[in-house]
């Protein structure tokens, strides 16, 4: 939900409530939101999350499980430490979080997941060796730009980039899940299964 690095508030991109409602309709509930914070949890209502006030504050450093909602933080990460960078070149934060999600999914820890791509750029930067790229899964490209709320609760503005939603379906009942994905999210743009 958060889509923000705790040290860089300028990267805040809170998920709109309508999108979280649709995510819960598809997956039944959200088990884990690994990139969240206390304010975001008021809307996400995940059973688990790793955030401030807990021993683990970096969702990248712990195992993931269940039905995952992921709106990754913006910015860049250091290629060696995989920690956020304040300045300079680095790995796309979205690509780092995508990689972690696919590893957990391929290991069977994550049952199903929705990954909100702030920018379609992650379709390029998310191409890592030995893990699938985002476009290898079912996805939706939104027909309208999403209005992300600010961390201060403001309505926010629509970014000047196009966004997508990638679905990692459950292994059991995949056909039914894909049909539901197209039905629930088709109203928001073009779904590719």
Instruction: CATH number of the domain at 167, please.
Output: 3.40.50
Task: For the beta carbon of residue 68, count every other beta carbon within 10 angstroms.
Answer: 28
At residue 150, the pLDDT reads 64
- Cα separations in angstroms, 122 against 98, 132, 149: 8, 12, 21
Residue 100 in domain: yes
Query: pLDDT by residue (tens digit) across 67-100?
Result: 999 999 888 888 888 778 878 888 999 999 999 9
Residue 2 in domain: no
The domain containing residue 146 runs over which residues?
9-192
Residue 22 in domain: yes
**Stated pTM of the model:** 0.85
159, 120 contact by CB (below 8 A): no
Q: What is the mean pLDDT of residues 131-145?
A: 96
d(CA 187, CA 184): 7
184 or 161: whose pLDDT is higher? 184
Residue 119 in domain: yes
Residue 4 in domain: no
At residue 133, the pLDDT reads 96
Residue 146 in domain: yes
Domain count, the chain: 1
41, 49 contact by CB (below 8 A): yes
- Residue 105: CB partners within 8 Å, gap ≥ 6? 113, 168
**Distance from CA of residue 166 to its chain's centroid?**
8
Instruction: Say if strands 76-77 and 91-92 run parallel, antiparallel, or are unpaired.
Output: antiparallel
| Least trusted range by pLDDT, from 36-40, 106-110, 114-118, 187-191 | 36-40
Residue 1 in domain: no
């Amino acid at each position: 939900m958060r889509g923000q690095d705790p040290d860089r508030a300028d990267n805040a991109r809170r998920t709109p409530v309508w999108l979280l409602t649709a995510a819960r309709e598809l997956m039944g509930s959200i088990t884990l939101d690994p990139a969240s914070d206390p304010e975001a949890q008021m809307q996400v209502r995940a059973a688990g999350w790793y955030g401030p006030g807990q021993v683990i504050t970096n969702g990248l450093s712990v195992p993931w499980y269940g039905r995952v909602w992921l709106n990754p933080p913006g910015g860049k990460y250091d290629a060696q430490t995989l920690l956020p960078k304040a300045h300079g070149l680095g790995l796309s934060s979205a690509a780092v979080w995508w990689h972690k999600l696919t590893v957990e999914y391929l290991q069977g820890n994550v049952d199903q997941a929705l990954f909100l791509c702030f920018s379609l750029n992650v379709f390029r930067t998310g191409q890592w060796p030995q893990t699938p790229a985002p476009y290898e899964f079912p996805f939706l490209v939104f027909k309208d730009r999403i209005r992300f709320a600010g961390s201060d609760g403001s309505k926010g503005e629509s970014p000047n980039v196009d966004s997508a939603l990638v679905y990692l379906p459950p292994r059991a009942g995949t056909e039914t899940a894909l049909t539901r994905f197209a039905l629930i999210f088709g109203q928001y743009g073009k779904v590719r299964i």
